Every structure is written in C-alpha cells, then in structure tokens.
A and B are shown apart, each in its own frame.
Chain A
Amino acid sequence: MPELGKYAGAVLSSYAVSIALIVALVVVSVIQSRRAKAALNDVEKRSKRNG
C-alpha cells in the first residue's frame, strides 16, 4: 500500500467510486444480456412449436 498522506481519503474514495460505477455498469449489462437471451429463447421456442 503506497503512502497517500493527507490525501488518502480523496484518492481512495475516487478509486472506490469509479470502480464501483464501472463494476455496476458491467454487472447490469451482463444481467440484461442474460435476461434478453433467456427471454428470446423462450419466445423463439414457443413460436417454433406453434409454427
């Protein structure tokens, strides 16, 4: 751990916030992608069955 001195709060919080935001964005994108895949699969199977 590097010595951050009196700016530790500032530096650490910017890293924390930014990484949290990026991770949130990625997680949301992945979840949405999974959901979209599942929903499409569902509908596609159903419509194949019904012709």
Chain B
Amino acid sequence: MGSIWEYANPRKFIATTDKLLPWVSALAVVALAGGLIWGFFFTPEDYRQGATVKIIYLHVPAALMAINAWMMMLVASLIWIVRRHHVSALAARAAAPIGATMTVIALITGAIWGQPMWGTWWEWDPRLTSFLILFLFYLGYMALWAAVEDDDTAADLTSVLCLVGSVFAILSRYAVNFWNQGLHQGASLSLDKQENVADVFYYPLLVSIAGFVLLFVALVFLRTQTEIRARRTRALLARERVS
C-alpha cells in the first residue's frame, strides 16, 4: 500500500473501484431499502405532523448529501489546483449531477412537506432559500463544465468557480438568515433539533442517511470511471486524427 496519490493514476483508480463497486452498491441498496422501508412501514405518526413525518427519511438525507457533495467537489477542486491530478478533477465533475439531484430531491420533498405543514408550497425561509441558491451553483458549475471544450481548461475554470462559489454560498447563507429575520416568524415550523427527535424516528433516519452516503460513493465511483473512459476515448480519437 503506497501513498494515496497512487489512486490519482486513472488506470489504478479504475482497477480499484472496479473491485469495490459491487460491494459498495450492494451495501447502498441494502441500507437505502432498509432505512426507507423501516421508516415508511414501521414507524408511528408524529403527534403534531401526522404521517408527513415519514418524509423526513428522504428529505434530511438528501439535504445532507446535497451539501456534502459540494464539499467533496471543493476538496477535489483544491487537489486539482494544487497537485493537478486529473482523476480528482474528473471526480468533481462526476459528483456534480449527483449533488444536483440530491438538491432537487430535498427541494421537492420540502415543498410537498410544506403544503400540509405551512399551507404553502414555497416559502422564502432562509433554509429553503439557501438551497435554491445551492441548486443554482450546481447548475452553473455543470454548465461551465459542459461549455468548455478543452478538458484541462474546463477543470481549471470550474475549480476556481467552485472555490469562489463556496465563499459566496456561505455568505448567502448569512445574508438569507439576516434577511428573513423579523419579517417571518411562525413559518419555520420544522421539527425540533435532532436531539429531540424521538428514537423511533431517529434510528431509521440514521440507516437512511447511511444509505444515501453509500449511494453517493457508489455513484461517484461509477461516474468517475465513465469520465475517465470518455476522456481517454477523446484522447484516442484525437490521436487518430494526428496519424
């Protein structure tokens, strides 16, 4: 076992993840199905929210992964900027659609939840708003990758965008918090803090979160492999053109 930078070699990365992928995917399916089935069929209703509390098993893990995917992209971008490992840039690219999907799931389940709880699909609540902004960041990031032809140029540009974007995402979070103060009292009717969530809700939620994490890892492996292969294909096609 050498340094972890060995996995920055595309061939090595593909070989290793090929071995890991079946296990990770199997675990992800088990945890995801387990958590969701447990949550959906075998938990009681909340005394205040009724059956809608079951949405939590999708909503919270998706929200968590939406943020974590961005963090992973940030780290991968930094690695690309500093050490210029191609796999790391491609992993960031591979993670973006997953993060965007998670953001969409959090937004949609939240909106559906909001309808019975707040009587409205959408409320400019700080949390919801910052998620909308996060979604825009994802969109811009993916669009930039798609728009630039040269792969290394695209990697450079998107990683700078990811860096600057992260700073502004944090800034927006504070801005949004500040902005909604005083104007909007009773609306944030979310459950109490995690500690106060009863154990009946808590354990299936943990399993579900684990399922989402594993799913994310499996998808990142798979999609990074795809990106590597696509890139090698492009390189080979270019080579054909030369000869």
Residues in A lying within 8 Å of B, measured CB to CB: 1-8, 10-11, 13-15, 17-18, 21-22, 25-26, 29-30, 32-33, 36-37, 39-40, 43-44, 46-47, 50
Contacts and interface: CB of A to CB of B under 8 A. Distances in A.
Interface residues of B, number: 38
Contact of B225 (A7, A21, A33, A43): A33
15 contacts: A2-B51, A4-B54, A10-B52, A10-B55, A14-B59, A14-B112, A17-B108, A22-B101, A25-B101, A29-B223, A30-B222, A32-B226, A36-B229, A39-B233, A40-B236
Contact of B229 (A8, A14, A40): A40
Contact of A37 (B58, B97, B229): B229
* A contact patch SS: helix
A36 B226 contact: yes
B50 interface: yes
Interface of B: 36, 40-41, 45, 50-52, 54-55, 58-59, 62, 97-98, 101, 104-105, 108-109, 112-113, 115-116, 215, 219, 222-223, 225-226, 229-230, 232-233, 236-237, 239-240, 243
* B contact patch SS: helix
A31 B65 CA distance: 23
